[in-house]
Amino acid sequence: NEGNISVLARYLGHLAYTRHPIAVKTIARYLNDERFIPGSDDHEPFYVSHAALAALAENIPDFPVKPKLFYTDEDLKVARAWANEL
């Protein structure tokens, strides 16, 4: 359900912070999730794939995409290629 994925996507960064291999693989799966989560009073709108990308970029030292404010389609392509090698 959309509410559950919205909550999950917001906590991907916390999961990535652990750097546990299973956590990283789990988050990497969401790089292919193109669901759009609309904004609310509590958060900005976002794509689940971009939340996963940000979580990995901000927490995984050898991740090929560096943290930034906005991610491009090319960043997502690079991240997905990285995830396919896991």
pLDDT digits (tens, 9 = 90+) for 31-80: 999 999 887 777 778 899 999 999 999 999 999 999 999 999 999 999 99
Within a 10 A sphere around the Cβ of 16, how many other Cβ atoms?
Answer: 23
Q: Check residue 38 and give its pLDDT.
A: 80
Task: State the pLDDT confidence band at 3, using cuts at 50, 70 and 90.
Answer: low
Average pLDDT of span 4-22:
89
Q: Check residue 2 and give its pLDDT.
A: 61
Measured CA to CA, the distance from residue 55 to residue 51 in angstroms comes to 6
Predicted TM-score (pTM) of this structure: 0.88
26 and 56 Cβ atoms separated by less than 8 Å: no
